Amino acid sequence: MNDWHYRAADEAATARLADALAAALPESAVIALDGPLGAGKTRLVQLLAAAAGIDPSTVTSPTFVLVQQYPAARPIFHFDAYRLRDADEFRELGPEEYFNHEPGWSLVEWAERVAECLPLDRLAVRIVPEGPSQRLFVFTAGGPRSAATLRAISERIGMTSPPCPIE
């Protein structure tokens, strides 16, 4: 499985997705988050942090600091590429040190801006707003490790095939 879609009707459904994601992710993973402003990228990171035992109120958008670190058994490294001029500026942050941190999850908001800097075997998540609290999550696995993670997420959620087309 390399692609999977999940339609969340409300915040509770998004939280269930974050719980499944946290349970399915390996010790080390890179997640590329994309979507328009206000799509819920930071909110998904907050819910994933909560599922990992991190106080979600401490998770904020790293837009102005570029990377936030949240310590836990599996630390979260939260990047935001929105204000970066180019991929070279992202490379200056030393992301490979975070990407190779064991254990640790690296979550990159606005990942399409720095895609060339990300590992190929990553889990890409595009968030499409469909209403005030409704979201379509489009997952794409970039390699075998992320494909296995994607299968595990869909099994935990109880859907083994895409539930809906992208409209």
- Domain CATH number, residue 114: 3.40.50.300
Percent residues over pLDDT 90 in the chain:
73
On whether residue 49 sits in a domain, the answer given is: yes
> pLDDT category, 159, cuts 50, 70, 90?
low
pLDDT digits (tens, 9 = 90+) for 76-88: 999 999 988 899 9
Domains contained in the chain, number: 1
On whether residue 164 sits in a domain, the answer given is: no
* Torsional sign, CA 29, 156, 154, 134: negative
Cis ω on the peptide bond leading into residue 144 (within 30° of 0)?
no
Query: How distant, in Å, are the alpha carbons of 85, 115, 120 from that of 124?
Result: 21, 10, 10
Rg of the chain's alpha carbons, rounded to an integer? Answer: 15
On whether residue 167 sits in a domain, the answer given is: no
- Where do runs of H (alpha helix) occur along 25-93? 41-51, 87-91
End-to-end CA distance of the chain: 20
On whether residue 72 sits in a domain, the answer given is: yes
Query: How distant, in Å, are the alpha carbons of 98, 102, 113, 116 from that of 87?
Result: 16, 24, 7, 7
pLDDT digits (tens, 9 = 90+) for 105-153: 999 999 999 999 999 999 999 999 999 999 999 999 999 999 999 999 9
On whether residue 74 sits in a domain, the answer given is: yes
On whether residue 165 sits in a domain, the answer given is: no
Enclosing domain of residue 137: 3-157
CB 98 within 8 A of CB 114: no
Task: Report whether pLDDT(160) > 90.
Answer: no
Indicate whether this model's pTM tops 0.85: yes
pLDDT digits (tens, 9 = 90+) for 53-99: 998 888 887 666 778 899 888 899 999 999 888 999 999 988 998 99
On whether residue 111 sits in a domain, the answer given is: yes
On whether residue 163 sits in a domain, the answer given is: no
